[in-house]
Amino acid sequence: MELIDKKIWKRASAIGLVFTILCLVVCIIQYYCDPDADTFQKGVRIAIHFLAVNFFIFLFFNPLSFRTYSVLFYIYGCGNFLDNGNVLGAICISASLVFLNTSGFLKTRRNTKIVSFLIVPLSCIFVQCFHTGKLAFLLSVFYILGAIYIFYLTYLMLLPRVEKAYSMKSEKIISREKFTERDIEFLERVLKGEKYSKIASLYNISESSVKAQMIELYHHLGVNSRTEFLAFCNGCTFVLGDPEQTTENS
């Protein structure tokens, strides 16, 4: 794990924090200075940006918490649907799915999780039908479908490059002084999406022992959690080596 990764994401969280604070200030000003604007939408905007500010404060200190980014974009997406920001809402919901996938959340029971994930955003879209009228709701649906279609075209364009990147698995040499063959087996099983409880049953040890061991392994690899490990070691193969080799490799 290179330090530059964390620096980049910390910088990104700082930019997001400044942006959301400015948005929150503007929304508060609008709430008190624009009495003609829709009260419901003004309230939604303030709530969204208030939550976003708190999320970005957390991300500033935990910049590699990708599931937090996923929750943040999920809230933004649902809020934008309620606020008639349909294209932006579709972008945020798509981004939330991307971050969930990167964090390893969708490695198991993918279809069930995606269907459950979409229930709230779809409900927010249907709320528009009662709030804005059927014609405006129909236009909203077309805007959202148009945004999804653009994402689909972008996906088709980037798919070959993504597949090529994943096919070129990087080899990470780790020190024999800190890792064992069993440690590598644990790491590889977690990368496959296996839960700690399953690993514990396979090796006839307690789940708490597996958790404690994995926390130590994450520390040696320079990551703070399972989520960070899945995000930044996805596609890696681990090989035991001497300390000199690991120094050269890093």
Amino acid at 237: T
Higher pLDDT, 93 or 227: 93
Instruction: For residue 248, name the pLDDT band (cuts at 50, 70, 90).
Output: very low
0.75 exceeded by the pTM?
Answer: no
Is the Cβ–Cβ distance between 144 and 125 less than 8 Å?
yes
Summarize the confidence of residues 139-145 as an average pLDDT.
75
pLDDT digits (tens, 9 = 90+) for 2-53: 444 678 888 999 999 999 999 899 989 988 887 777 787 788 889 888 999 9
Q: Cβ contacts of residue 136 below 8 Å, gap of 6+?
A: 84, 128
pLDDT of residue 18: 94
Summarize the confidence of residues 113-120 as an average pLDDT.
90
- Give dist(CA 106, CA 85) in Å, integer: 27
Residue 222, Ramachandran bin (φ over 0: left; ψ between -120 and 50: alpha; else beta): left
Summarize the confidence of residues 231-245 as an average pLDDT.
69
pLDDT of residue 227: 76
The distance of Cα 41 from the centroid of its chain, to the nearest Å, equals: 26
Higher pLDDT, 236 or 163: 236
pLDDT of residue 250: 47
pLDDT of residue 130: 74
Residue 159 pLDDT exceeds 60: yes
CATH code for the part of the protein at 169-249: 1.10.10.10
Helices of type H across the chain: 3-33, 39-61, 66-82, 86-102, 110-132, 134-167, 181-191, 196-202, 207-221, 226-233, 243-249
pLDDT digits (tens, 9 = 90+) for 65-102: 888 899 999 998 888 888 777 788 888 898 898 888 87
Domain ranges across the chain: 3-165, 169-249
Q: Cβ contacts of residue 98 below 8 Å, gap of 6+?
A: none
pLDDT of residue 164: 60
- Helix 110-132 vs helix 86-102: crossing angle, to nearest 10: 160
Please count the other Cβ atoms lying within 10 Å of the Cβ belonging to residue 241.
18
